[in-house]
Amino acid sequence: MVLDRPGAPTTRRQGQRIVRTVDPILVFGPWSERYDLGPGHPLTPRRFGPGIDLIRAVTAAAGGGPIRELAPEPASDDELRRVHDAHYIDVVRRFSEQPLGGWEAGLGPGDTPAFAGMHEAAAAVAGGSIRAMEAILRGEAGHALHPGGGLHHAMPDRASGFCVYDDPALAIARARRDGLRVLYVDLDVHHGDGVQAIHGDDPGVITLSIHQTGRTLFPGTGFVAELGEGTAAGTSLNLPLDPGTGERGWLAALRSVLPEVAATFRPDVVVSQHGADAHAWDPLADLRVTTTAMGAAARLVHSIAHRWAGGRWLATGGGGYDAYRVVPRAWSLVWLAASHLDAPAAVPTAWRERWAGEAERYGQAPLPDWLDDEPNAGLRLDGTQEAADRRAVETAGLLRELAVPALVRAATDLGWWSALDDLQPDGIGPASAGVAQSARTAGVRTPAPADHPEILDAVDAATWAGLGLADRVIPPGEPVAAHALVLAALRGGREVRVTAGVAGGLIVGAVVSAVPEGRRLLLGLGVAPDRRHRGLGAELLRRHIERGGGVPGTAGSEWPAGSAAAIEPWAAVVTVAERDPAEPLARAMREAIARRLLERVGFRIERAAGLVGAADPGAITARRG
């Protein structure tokens, strides 16, 4: 399998910027249309005709050059076995030769009927995503779009939900084989259960799925409490939405969580699934998302790939059952984002004329005039949708509490630093380039070998600005961004307090707290990997507490035991979010360490209550004073 022409860096104007890119890959070829579950099946290969045609038409309209295409071919059994059981592959082969053989392993009458040549066709979908990932890893392309991919329901040992082999999971496995951390973003209306199940025990993969709640839609999973276990606790993230949720709630929920998760995890590659079935016109689900929101989401994922993953991004298609009015526009908007092209407003007239008759025959007419929808897809905004949109934002708020470190959340909420604002609208580099540059020389220094770091009890903005920050001390994941966040916090009020361990001009440990309202909140405590297990974290926390009035009665406390000033009111909440994404400890170990550190300085520990405690049984709240 080879590309039809080699990729080469090109320059292209986007808005007022000139960007240098490697042209993306479009994964499509003869095998794509052979994944055919039957003439009456909702996942119809008919979508490829208008879909690929519109991609080509809008690329030309936007001033793009020739499209590089990669024709998928079947993956080998060895490749499929990276996520699928050997016995299951044998079952698929058998049904492929004898499609009327009953029902087994999710194949047969129902959602995923067997068909002649099924194994080869499904393996070609898998092969397309694997080869696209390999092209990205080799640097032959920064981005790739596989419209026929995104079969995210397939499990290791069975088919499910129209999906035979799980191509996104296989592409992720290919990247993981090279040791790369992967962020998977699933925008389909159905929960990305297969990818979550396959990679749910791998702390090197974060899956984030936004979908209609499993209480009302297949596959019945994808709830907030599905956070993962062991060392992977906190890597399975879900935003389940009520029926009727519209573009405002859907996009607001995604924007509030995804950038912070990406900034904290700092992936090496991004894989996304852009199912178009969340659209208001889709016949199989009940959300009211628009192509406008889908295009914005695609550009958000694209920006994240450039900011945190070196531009490495594999996008796949997925569901979408309005094959003429919605799917072609959704695919085209993803492709335009990957191509660094501004989307033209109008759907090309020639395309509408070519496909109008077929769309009418299948009851999906008239074809839209514009790539973006009318507000709310032309539907009346009613009380049910407004309530669902509010609940979407509330659900995102809960997931933030669970999955985003307290320091990153506080930075956003208090206006110090925002992962969303840190993204360039066109995806090229950090938006906060000025801030990042001011910290760049401070954020990347070689750690000094001093055995006993000096502890600075009262770090002010000037002192912090003059020091470097070691990697993996505090979130977000990149030390330049973490340095900029704390510098902005020190300049931003809220009684921010920072205690730091410094060796050779480099911060190798830090504690950060602030007083947003009432109690002082412990926001972050971390130590560089090569300084851990030496008591530095405990010493930093003790000194940090003592500076504000201290641990009553301890040596060095500014106030005598029992005085009012000695008991400054403190609070802390520790969830699955508080971990080192590069080398996370098991969930139980994280909790034990947090308890021990906090109890030593006089905090009272309780299990977290309310929605946080219900979703994360290991979460704790701590108070003192």
User: Whose CA is closest to 554, among 537, 564, 566, 565?
Assistant: 566
- Which pLDDT score, from 0 to 100, does residue 549 have? 52
Q: Quick check: 485 and 465 in contact, CB under 8 A? A: no
- Which pLDDT score, from 0 to 100, does residue 547 have? 80
Cα separation of 550 and 408, whole Å?
26
- Which pLDDT score, from 0 to 100, does residue 450 have? 58
- Which pLDDT score, from 0 to 100, does residue 431 have? 52
CA distances from 82 to 118, 174, 175, 273, 405 (A): 19, 8, 12, 20, 32
- Which pLDDT score, from 0 to 100, does residue 218 have? 98
User: Catalytic: which of 84, 146, 152, 153?
Assistant: 153
Q: pLDDT tens-digit profile of 98-142? A: 998 789 999 999 999 999 999 999 999 999 999 999 999 999 999
Q: pLDDT tens-digit profile of 428-438? A: 555 543 333 33
CA distances from 585 to 208, 378, 410, 527, 593 (A): 21, 49, 24, 14, 10
Which of 172-181, 319-328, 561-570 is least confident? 561-570
Contacts (Cβ under 8 Å, ≥6 apart) of 533: none
Give residue limits of the domains in the chain: 9-401, 405-624
Q: Which residue has the higher pLDDT, 494 or 162?
A: 162
Cα separation of 482 and 440, whole Å?
11
- Which pLDDT score, from 0 to 100, does residue 428 have? 53
Cα separation of 125 and 80, whole Å?
11
pLDDT more than 90, % of the chain = 87
- DSSP three-state, residue 44: coil
- Evaluate if residue 526 carries a pLDDT over 70: yes
- Which pLDDT score, from 0 to 100, does residue 100 have? 87
Cα separation of 591 and 250, whole Å?
33
Query: Is 153 known to be catalytic?
Result: yes
Length of the chain: 625
Q: What's the mean pLDDT when you consider all of the chain? A: 91
Identify the helix (H) or strand (E) that includes residue 592: helix 587-600
- Which pLDDT score, from 0 to 100, does residue 449 have? 54
- DSSP three-state, residue 218: coil
Q: Quick check: 502 and 456 in contact, CB under 8 A? A: yes
Q: Is 87 exposed, middle or buried (0-12, 13-18, 19+ CB in 10 A)?
A: exposed
- Which pLDDT score, from 0 to 100, does residue 34 have? 98
- Which pLDDT score, from 0 to 100, does residue 239 have? 98
- Which pLDDT score, from 0 to 100, does residue 102 have? 87
Confidence tier at 60 by pLDDT (50, 70, 90)? very high
Confidence tier at 3 by pLDDT (50, 70, 90)? low
Confidence tier at 518 by pLDDT (50, 70, 90)? confident
Look up the CATH superfamily of 9-401: Histone deacetylase domain (3.40.800.20)
- Which pLDDT score, from 0 to 100, does residue 166 have? 99
User: Whose CA is closest to 461, among 489, 435, 481, 480?
Assistant: 489
- Evaluate if residue 90 carries a pLDDT over 90: yes
Q: Which residue has the higher pLDDT, 22 or 172?
A: 172
Token couple for 602: 């006089």
- Evaluate if residue 196 carries a pLDDT over 50: yes
Q: Which fold has domain 405-624?
A: Aminopeptidase (3.40.630)
Give the sign of the dihedral formed by CA 334, CA 339, CA 343, CA 347. Answer: negative
- Evaluate if residue 362 carries a pLDDT over 90: yes
- DSSP three-state, residue 511: strand
Cα separation of 407 and 497, whole Å?
12
- Which pLDDT score, from 0 to 100, does residue 548 have? 64
Whether 405-624 and 9-401 are alike in CATH topology: the answer is no
- According to DSSP, the residues that pair with 572 across neighbouring strands are 622
Confidence tier at 381 by pLDDT (50, 70, 90)? very high
Cα separation of 312 and 292, whole Å?
24
Identify the helix (H) or strand (E) that includes residue 599: helix 587-600
Residue type, 64: G
Query: Distance from first CA to last CA of the chain, Å, rounded?
Result: 66
- Which pLDDT score, from 0 to 100, does residue 110 have? 93
Residue type, 474: I
